[in-house]
């Protein structure tokens, strides 16, 4: 299954000396378990932003190795640049990406800060989620006065560092570290002046024009500027919480203000990487707004790119700009069975091993049943002959498409549950009974989930039998029988594992639910087949 993944985005005060930039990159790349995704240097700011990912342990090591390289090569006493800064490694945030909590990222930042302070003897401050003090929670609060004011600041007890000595290291300065949500750097292109772009920024940014006149969008920081390279102005923004204020809402709000000023919007730009979820949110917004019917993920991403105009400044390549795609594990690692060819899966299924077994096979068969139902829908939707059915297909296909995709992980989940049960059997001492009970319940819940997901398909399968393209009759028949067979197979796995469970209440409740789903599958299979047999067209 997928592993824990954290993103680290350290900002170093060097954007001109390629030798130093490359040395820091190498220190990250050479850290086992770390993957460097992006290096973004800026000459005028004299600053480079690195983006890399890793598990909680490796991400801390990677950040430390990079900091040690910066300590050796960067001399802050000689540093100048347009961007605010206070240290060689200026700020080092840890961001949850996959299967990790914000608390785990806070722990990473604290471990990193503690070790950095101890090993390099430099002052380290915590910010954002890692800080508990309101007056020093935001980066701008801690960095006020910048490098030049740090020596005096450290003499104030209120600004004692969280880690490391309260002494000024002229060569290095200080570092701010903490945990935050994924930040999206997002710019909307305006065919106008810097002042007009800034006027829009004042309208939308959370701070607004003043405390008495706040802006419209939460968790948004923004200014207006002019980019000579693009020959146009931009509303340049940081989206601190894209779940609350996503790019598409920002784009629409900026566009509305631009229209009121009789200005043209020429697309937008994402700087660095972006979570897939943000683009899928945009796609869903435009799908609903324009009454579109798109289920395929790649097409949704394409729609978001087009509607937001993300190709306006430079080509937006999803494989290189969407962080989920860049850190996607090899399917053979995360889902070894699902990644096999049909031939190889069948051969493994028939080999001299107890797993994969009937549970994995049941998930495969059920997924194929849902897939054949969806296929019948696609053989109907969008065809002139069946144009009157398009609205029905828009409602019928999505549940089948979703179930098909949701069932695939259970091919491997069932085998993992079996292997975990075998491990629990080997536990010694007083913990053995609890370990076995926990493993058994998981071995029950996995095939039960296969049944539950499959059970969501029947309403669509029955409707498809009534109106779907009759040329796909046999496909839908096979699909319905496969769905019922997958449910039956999962039911047998639930029952056999329930036998050894000692929790009577759990056993009775689970068996009742499983039997109801099994009976519903029998009834609906018969219904689908009868409808198809009696179709006259």
Is residue 211 pLDDT above 80, yes or no? no
Q: Identify whether residues 166 and 250 lie together within a single domain.
A: no
Handedness of CA 448, 402, 323, 30 (dihedral sign): positive
Q: Closest by alpha carbon to 514, among 465, 416, 428, 446? A: 446
What pLDDT, on the 0 to 100 scale, is given for residue 501? 87
Q: Rounded to whole angstroms, how far apart are CA atoms 237 and 250?
A: 9
95-108 pLDDT, tens digit per residue, is 998 889 999 999 99
Q: How far apart are CA 33 and CA 53, in angstroms?
A: 8
Domain match, 317 and 191 both = yes
State whether 339 and 476 are in the same domain. Answer: yes
- Average pLDDT rounded to a whole number, residues 155-167: 96
Query: d(Cα 206, Cα 220) in Å, to the nearest integer?
Result: 5
User: 326, 344, 374: which is the final residue of a domain?
Assistant: 326
Residues 4-15: tens digit of each pLDDT: 889 999 999 999
Residue indicated by tokens 């029998």: 522
In a shared domain, residues 161 and 192: no
Are residues 345 and 289 part of one domain? no
Domain of 292, CATH number, reads: 3.30.70.670
Answer yes or no: is pLDDT of 144 > 50: yes
Mark whether 461 and 419 lie in a shared domain: yes
Domain enclosing residue 433, as ranges: 332-534
- How many domains would you assign to the chain? 3
Give the percent of the chain with pLDDT over 70.
Answer: 98
**Angle of CA points 153, 155, 157, to nearest 5°:** 95
Residue 488: closest CA among 451, 457, 461, 453: 451
Give the per-residue pLDDT at 329. Answer: 56
b/e 139-175 (16+ beta carbons within 10 angstroms → b): beebbeeebeebeebbeeeebebbbbeeebbeebbbb
Catalytic (active site) residue 83: yes
What is the phi-psi region of residue 231: left when phi exceeds 0, alpha when psi lies from -120 to 50, beta otherwise? left
The answer, yes or no, to whether residue 394 has pLDDT greater than 90, is yes
Mean pLDDT confidence for 237-243: 93
Q: Specify whether the backbone of 429 is left (phi greater than 0), alpha (psi in -120 to 50) or beta.
A: left
Alpha-carbon distance 80 to 103, whole Å?
35
What is the CATH number for 174?
3.30.990.10
pLDDT at position 328 is 66
Give residue-wise pLDDT tens across range 463-473.
999 999 999 99
Q: Give the residue-averaged pLDDT of 441-460.
A: 97
Residue 476 confidence (pLDDT) above 90 = yes
Residue 251: closest CA among 235, 263, 274, 240: 235
Domain boundary among 296, 326, 356: 326
DSSP string, 287-326: HHHTT-----HHHHHHHHHHHHTTTSSS---HHHHBHHHH
Confidence at 333, pLDDT banded by 50, 70, 90: low
Give the pLDDT confidence of 336-359 residue by residue, as tens digits: 888 889 999 999 999 998 889 999
Instruction: Read off the pLDDT of each residue in 111-127 and give the average, rounded to a whole number.
Output: 97
pLDDT in tens, 500-517: 888 899 999 999 999 999
Mean pLDDT of 353-374: 95
User: Does position 384 have pLDDT exceeding 90, yes or no?
Assistant: yes
**pTM to 2 decimals?**
0.78
Q: 10 Å Cβ neighbour count for 101?
A: 11
For the chain, what is the mean pLDDT? 93
Q: Which of 118, 127, 55, 60 is nearest to 90 (CA)?
A: 127
- Distance (Å, rounded) from C-alpha 157 to C-alpha 152? 11
Instruction: Kindly state whether residues 498 and 389 are assigned to the same domain.
Output: yes
pLDDT for residue 331 is more than 50: no
The 3 state secondary structure assigned to 438-453 is HHHHHHHHHHHHHHHH
Q: Predicted confidence band at 330 (pLDDT cuts at 50, 70, 90)?
A: very low
Question: Are residues 219 and 164 both part of a single domain?
Answer: no
What local confidence, expressed as pLDDT, does residue 246 receive? 97
Q: In this structure, how many other beta carbons lie within 10 angstroms of the beta carbon of residue 8?
A: 26
* pLDDT tens digits, one per residue of 46-88: 899 999 999 999 999 999 999 999 999 999 999 998 788 999 9
Examine the domain organization and report whether 172 and 236 are in the same domain.
no
Q: What is the CA radius of gyration of the chain?
A: 28
Tokens, residue 293: 């019917």
Q: What is the pLDDT of residue 361?
A: 97
Catalytically annotated residue among 83, 324, 406, 420: 83
Residues 376, 512: one domain?
Answer: yes
CB 313 within 8 A of CB 266: no
| Sign of torsion over alpha carbons 111, 113, 116, 117 | negative
Q: Are residues 161 and 264 in the same domain?
A: no
Cis ω for the linkage preceding 217 (within 30 of 0): no
Domain boundary pick from 127, 144, 179 = 179
Residue labelled with tokens 């299979």? 525
CATH number for 383: 1.20.120.680
Does 66 share its domain with 159? yes
Which of 240, 257, 412, 414 is labelled catalytic?
414
The mean per-residue pLDDT over the stretch 133-162 comes to: 94
Tell me, what's the pLDDT at 143? 94
Q: Quick check: is 414 catalytic?
A: yes
Q: Which helix (H) or strand (E) holds 269?
A: strand 264-271
pLDDT classification of 334: cutoffs 50, 70, 90: low
């Amino acid at each position: 299954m997928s592993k824990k993944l954290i993103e680290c985005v350290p900002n170093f005060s060097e954007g001109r000396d390629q030798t130093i930039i490359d040395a820091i990159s190498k220190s990250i790349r050479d850290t086992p378990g770390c993957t460097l995704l992006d290096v973004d240097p800026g000459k005028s700011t004299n600053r480079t932003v690195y983006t890399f990912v890793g598990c909680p342990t490796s991400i801390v090591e990677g950040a430390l190795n990079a900091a040690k390289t910066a300590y050796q090569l960067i001399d802050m006493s000689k540093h100048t640049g347009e961007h605010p800064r206070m240290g060689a490694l200026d700020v080092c945030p840890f961001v949850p990406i996959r299967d990790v909590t914000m608390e785990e990222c806070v722990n990473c930042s604290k471990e990193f800060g503690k070790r950095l302070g101890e090993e390099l003897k430099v002052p380290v401050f915590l910010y954002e989620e890692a800080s508990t003090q309101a007056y020093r929670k935001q980066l701008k609060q801690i960095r006020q006065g910048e490098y030049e004011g740090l020596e005096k600041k450290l003499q104030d007890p209120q600004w004692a560092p969280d880690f490391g000595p309260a002494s000024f290291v002229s060569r290095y300065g200080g570092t701010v570290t903490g945990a935050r949500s994924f930040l999206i750097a997002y710019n909307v292109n305006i065919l106008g002046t810097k002042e007009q772009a800034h006027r829009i920024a004042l309208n939308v940014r959370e701070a607004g024009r003043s405390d008495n006149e706040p802006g419209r969008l939460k968790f948004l920081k923004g200014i207006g500027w002019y980019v000579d390279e693009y020959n146009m102005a931009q509303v340049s923004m940081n989206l601190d919480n894209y779940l609350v204020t996503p790019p598409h809402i920002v784009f629409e709000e900026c566009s509305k203000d631009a229209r009121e000023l009789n200005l043209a919007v020429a697309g937008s730009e994402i700087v660095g990487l972006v979570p897939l979820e943000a683009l899928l949110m945009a796609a869903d917004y435009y799908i609903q707004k324009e009454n579109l019917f798109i289920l395929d993920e790649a097409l949704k991403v394409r729609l978001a790119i087009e509607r937001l105009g993300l190709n306006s400044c430079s080509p937006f390549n999803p494989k290189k700009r969407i962080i989920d795609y860049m850190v996607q594990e090899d399917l053979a690692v995360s889902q070894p069975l699902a990644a096999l060819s049909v031939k190889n899966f069948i051969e493994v299924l028939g080999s001299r091993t107890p797993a994969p077994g009937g549970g994995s096979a049941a998930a495969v068969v059920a997924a194929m049943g849902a897939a054949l139902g969806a296929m019948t829908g696609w053989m109907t939707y969008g065809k002139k002959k069946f144009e009157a059915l398009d609205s029905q297909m828009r409602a019928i296909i999505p549940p089948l498409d979703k179930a098909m995709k949701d069932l695939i992980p259970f091919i491997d989940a069932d085998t993992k549950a079996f292997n975990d049960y075998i491990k629990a059997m080997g536990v010694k001492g007083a913990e053995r009974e609890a370990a076995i009970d926990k493993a058994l319940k998981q071995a029950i819940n996995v095939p039960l989930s296969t049944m539950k997901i499959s059970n969501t398909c029947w309403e669509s399968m029955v409707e498809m039998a009534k109106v779907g393209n009759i040329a796909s009759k046999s496909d839908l028949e096979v699909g319905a029988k496969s769905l019922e067979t997958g449910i039956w197979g999962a039911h047998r796995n639930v029952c056999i594992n329930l036998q050894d469970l000692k929790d009577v209440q759990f056993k009775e409740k689970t068996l009742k639910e499983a039997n109801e789903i099994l009976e519903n599958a029998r009834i609906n299979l018969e219904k689908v087949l009868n409808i198809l047999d009696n179709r006259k067209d």
